[in-house]
Amino acid sequence: QVQLAESGGGSVQAGGSLRLSCGASGLTTDRSKCMGWFRQAPGKEREGVAFIVTGAGRKEYTSSVKGRFTISQDNTKNAVYLQMNSLKSEDTAMYYCVAIYATYCPSRPSAYTYWGQGTQVTVSS
């Protein structure tokens, strides 16, 4: 059984930083995977934030976080991390870790097989 567990959310002032972590249990390490993060703010649709194809290390970011957020991986632990710097109030949302066995990262949330429970990020201005 696959489980994704996020941690690292919290409240921070604008301009601050947070680091989200996602540990995955039950995923094999010898298959290509896309792992990453979606976020959802109240009243808004889920938005893809950052993704990485594990092993290959290919990364993708939504335009609004480029230059501020960095996604990284630890293949030995089936873990991904999201370093978020220069946070803005519009980054406030529930952040969800996702995973799928694939060689690329789909854009649609419905394409992802595995989801974490989410971790709240609140940025106050």
Kindly write down the DSSP assignment for every residue of 54-84, as one continuous string.
TTTTEEEE-GGGTTTEEEEEEGGGTEEEEEE
User: What is d(CA 52, CA 116) in angstroms, rounded to the nearest whole number?
Assistant: 16
Question: What pLDDT, on the 0 to 100 scale, is given for residue 76?
Answer: 80
DSSP-based three-state secondary structure for 38:
strand
pLDDT digits (tens, 9 = 90+) for 61-99: 999 999 999 999 987 878 999 999 999 999 999 999 999
